[in-house]
Amino acid sequence: MFAQRAAFALTMVFVLSTRPAQAFLDPPYIMPANPAVGDAISVNVYGGQCDALNIGIVSPVITREGNAITILFTGHHETNPELCFLGIGTVTYPAGSYPAGSYTLQVDRQYFNFAGALVRETLGVIPFTVGEGPSPNAPVSAPTLGVVGLSFLLLALAGFAVRTLRSTTRGL
């Protein structure tokens, strides 16, 4: 009986003393999702609280070997919950524009841990294809009336209105 109560009390102490995980970085994604030739591609990473990507301090390094692109962010990772004061949000960084083809974008980050060692980790690998045609997000031109066409349309409407008014007044 004592062992059961002690185990329950110990479990409650551990449950009440735990803190929720505050450090997070979601998998990266690119915008636009289906890029075309000439589209500027940007990489987005959502995260915060105890993790951050320090874009304003150190610019990311983008390297390309064939169709493999790597972007390396310098970041910050805090293990002490008392020092987790960073906000939550999405970091967006331009990754360039590429010719038509299939690519992989590897997103890495590096930071110094509490012992002073440089840690490098992969946040995600994004396969994407750059299409030949216009982007689905690109504006599409549609034919419109010019000054001459608009003038003819207004004359036709005015003629129709006069004709309708004459036929209505004859019936009275």
Q: Report pLDDT digits (tens) over 111-167.
A: 888 888 899 999 999 999 998 876 555 566 667 777 888 888 888 889 888 888 888
90 & 147 share domain: no
Dihedral of the CA atoms 41, 43, 46, 49 (nearest 10)? -130
Position 135 in a domain: no
**Which residue range forms the structural domain that includes residue 78?**
2-130
Write out the two tokens for 59.
């610019």
Q: Which of 32-36, 49-53, 93-97, 137-141 has the lowest mean pLDDT?
A: 137-141
pLDDT for residue 21: 47
Domain assignment present for residue 99? The answer is yes
Q: Are residues 52 and 116 in the same domain?
A: yes
pLDDT at 132: 85
What is the average pLDDT across 44-68? 86
How far is 119 from 113, CA to CA, in rounded Å? Answer: 7
Quote the pLDDT of residue 169.
73
For 66-112, list the strands marked E by DSSP: 68-77, 88-96, 101-112
Number of DSSP helices (H) and strands (E) in the chain, helices first? 2, 9
- For residues 107 and 85, which has the higher predicted lDDT (pLDDT)? 107
Residues 99, 24 within the same domain = yes
Domain count, the chain: 2
Residue 6: per-residue pLDDT: 60
Using CA atoms of 128, 130, 136, 140 in order, give the dihedral in degrees to the nearest 10. Answer: 170
The structure's pTM equals: 0.63
Q: Is 165 or 11 the better-scoring residue by pLDDT?
A: 165
Q: Express each pLDDT in 18-40 by its tens digit.
A: 455 456 788 999 999 899 998 99
Q: Please indicate, yes or no, whether residues 36 and 69 belong to a single structural domain of this protein.
A: yes
Q: Is residue 58 part of a domain?
A: yes
The residue with greater pLDDT, 6 or 74, is: 74
So what's the pLDDT on residue 84?
80
